[in-house]
Structure 1
Amino acid sequence: MKRLPLFSSLTLSLLTLFAPSHASELPEVVAGKLIRHANFESQHVAARNIDVWLPPRAAPNEPLPVLYMHDGQMLYDSNATWNGQTWDADDVATKLIRDGKTPPFIIVGIWNGGPELRHREYFPQKAFENLSENDVEAVLQGTRKGQSHPAFPGEPISDKYLRFIVEELKPFIDKTYSTISDRDSTFISGSSMGGLISTYALCEYPDTFGGAACLSTHWPGIFTNEDNPIPQALFTYLDANLPDPNKVRLYFDLGDQTLDALYEPHQVQVDKILRRHGYDDSNWISKRFPGTDHSEIAWNARLHEPLIFLLDSK
């Protein structure tokens, strides 16, 4: 396979997720309480901040469901992010809880490891291992147009990242906070590369996570669809590893602007795989949002949809 071309015009939105946030500033939230566990140590991955949002509730010790979210520095407060954008996850959650559309729940924001680690931690490792040697070499050597550093900075270490969440972070959260720790009340979510790792988490740990919300999932893995072997490797992995649809819920969506313009043909293939494995409207959603781009503003505007889908007990 030839060396992969990558288009700089499509990389800006994804790069916004790499940039460091204002690490010393604790984000402000509209309601509830935010607690930071700074430089949380791990035997598997680099230390990082963990920002835990606790909702306002009448019963302080009531056990609650937990949503783990990637790119945790971009979740809560636009004044504390590098680009002035945020998911406003606390605001969305507060309104859903207030209106009775979801039960109260905890959000665990897991900071990404920065530009040298995020791609490696979030790309599904076992899918990468399905690539041929030539494809691996081409992917690792590919550069963004106009830049000299690799677009894919090293082989994935996402198995270690998931072990960090499942073996270290989740036990800490369940011990420290009043949680419902079982699978049916434990969820994981992210966008772009965070959508990939959320899908991977559900496949690798279906006894830990009861559902995943994957917004603007970055199926190309890099920044082009041209001569790109990555989507097929992901499809092959999914086809062999999707969990029992009767035990989980899975949400996907995408827009059609900026990086999201790359995703439609791949999401169509993923939808076919899910349908073939018995997923239906009771446990799977795949939505399109025409005119929307690859940004925290876009994800904020529709975050309520996956949250209701995952957390609704009906």
Structure 2
Amino acid sequence: MAKWAMAQEVYDVCITIHNRDQSAHIGEDFFITGSFNSWKPADILIGAIPKYGDSIEITIPSVPKGLLEYKFTRGNWETLASTAKGNLEGPIKVIVQGDTAVNAQIDGWRDDFPISTASPQVCVLDSAFYFPTLDVHRRVWIYLPEGYNDSLQSYPVIYMHDGQDLFDEATSKGRIGPLEWRVDEAIDEAEHKAIVVAVAHAEDIQQRQNEYFVRPTTSFPKPLGEAYLSDMVKVLKPFVDQHYRTKADREHTAMAGSSVGGLLTFYAGLLHPEVFGVVSVMSPSIWLDEGNVDQAIKQIPVRKDAAKPDFYIYGGGNENRIKPDGSRVRMHDDIERITKMMYDSGRNKVQVVIEPDGRHGAWYWQKAFPHFYSWWMSRISDKEAAS
């Protein structure tokens, strides 16, 4: 029978966990974490890890009706349950419509595998690259396609933000664990290759956001996003083009980012269309920008057709966010609104992708990136074939 907590329908969820891992962790304490406990990794003890082939049960009481997400840990994000090969995956999902019984399985533990998940093609371009307008030093990674050092081939380039989260679980952090985008693996597996230049975000979350906002908001009255983009365009890109074999023209230069980094990328397309021929705007935090995006679309002049960038805008159908004033917004509604405004302003090169089950986080951007990359490579191939 349904129970009610603060006028919300809730149920019990019984999870039977089967151990398929034969490591030395049998008998150690392990925990469950999820949307029901604000993703605290050592908050709810399940018990001791059972012997190989055995199982243990836990009941989570008073789970709200709807989507339940959870993971298993041995007490912190470094000891998450993994696949048998050591890969981290997204949360386990259950749709709760009543009292529910489900099965789950543990195949391995992340800390039994190498810390770094970056491919050999990833290296540090500079551990402290200087951004003069921002007056900060930031780590910058570069992905060079396999065989780069054995050829004279030149490549398109993608500039990306939040570099810690793109290639390596050893440097990534997140609300539900150190998931990374697997950008390197995506390009490793692709037919056509590109260089990726990834800039580290500020470690302080407030500083990161201040550097990714372009126009003033209540929380960030003196944003530094325009300065950040200026350094990308006037300092970082020329350095990369000078020291690496790039196709430096706008048709072969892209930018990609997510969340507030997606918002920043959107502004890059508006402010620097002569530099970036494509911008991949993933889950942009439009609701935090207090209407600035709408004004920018209206106010910033539209360049001639030859200098209009392609906007690839991705959003999740389950990206419901709460604004600072407490009101709730839906990501895909924001995307639909600004897409219409883009067309009305004469910016008609807009590709919109809404993933119905998508939510806000690296697991979903990991899945979305290969689709953007394939789309971009197809655009390049089509234009080269037509020329």
Looking at structure 2, the residues matched to 202 and 116 of structure 1 have their Cα atoms a distance apart, in angstroms, of 24
TM-score by length of 1: 0.74
Does residue 106 (structure 1) correspond to residue 195 (structure 2)? The answer is yes
**What does residue 153 of structure 2 align with?**
62
Mark the runs of 5 or more structure 2 residues left unpaired by the alignment.
1-34, 40-113, 322-328, 383-387
Looking at structure 2, the residues matched to 237 and 26 of structure 1 have their Cα atoms a distance apart, in angstroms, of 43
Higher strand share: 2
The structure 1 residue matched to 2:335, chosen from 242, 251, 267, is: 267
Does residue 92 (structure 1) correspond to residue 192 (structure 2)? The answer is no
Deviation at 1:253, TM superposition (A): 1.2
**What does residue 73 of structure 1 align with?**
164
Looking at structure 2, the residues matched to 26 and 207 of structure 1 have their Cα atoms a distance apart, in angstroms, of 40
Does residue 186 (structure 1) correspond to residue 253 (structure 2)? The answer is yes
Looking at structure 2, the residues matched to 170 and 250 of structure 1 have their Cα atoms a distance apart, in angstroms, of 20
Deviation at 1:204, TM superposition (A): 1.1
Q: What is the number of equivalent residue pairs in this alignment?
A: 255
**What does residue 277 of structure 1 align with?**
345
Looking at structure 2, the residues matched to 44 and 206 of structure 1 have their Cα atoms a distance apart, in angstroms, of 20
Mark the runs of 5 or more structure 1 residues left unpaired by the alignment.
1-8, 14-24, 129-135, 141-151, 223-229
Higher relative CO (CA 8 A, sep ≥ 6), structure 1 or 2? 1
**Secondary structure of 1:90 counterpart:** helix
My pick for the range that moved more, 28-37 or 182-191, is 28-37
**Secondary structure of 1:188 counterpart:** strand
Letter of the 2:144 partner, please give it. L
Looking at structure 1, the residues matched to 314 and 261 of structure 2 have their Cα atoms a distance apart, in angstroms, of 13
Letter of the 1:179 partner, please give it. T
Letter of the 2:168 partner, please give it. D
**What does residue 267 of structure 2 align with?**
200
| Distance change in 2, residues 1:84/1:238 (3 Å) | same
Looking at structure 1, the residues matched to 356 and 123 of structure 2 have their Cα atoms a distance apart, in angstroms, of 34
Looking at structure 1, the residues matched to 262 and 314 of structure 2 have their Cα atoms a distance apart, in angstroms, of 10
- Does structure 1 conserve the Cα–Cα contact (< 8 Å) formed by 2:124 and 2:139? no
| Distance change in 2, residues 1:65/1:272 (3 Å) | same
Higher helix share: 1
**What does residue 304 of structure 1 align with?**
370
The structure 2 residue matched to 1:160, chosen from 222, 227, 240, is: 227
**What does residue 143 of structure 1 align with?**
none
The structure 2 residue matched to 1:209, chosen from 259, 268, 276, is: 276
Letter of the 1:172 partner, please give it. F
- Does structure 1 conserve the Cα–Cα contact (< 8 Å) formed by 2:311 and 2:350? yes
- Does structure 2 conserve the Cα–Cα contact (< 8 Å) formed by 1:27 and 1:76? no
The structure 2 residue matched to 1:235, chosen from 277, 281, 294, is: 294
**Secondary structure of 2:170 counterpart:** helix
Letter of the 1:186 partner, please give it. T
- Does structure 2 conserve the Cα–Cα contact (< 8 Å) formed by 1:245 and 1:278? no
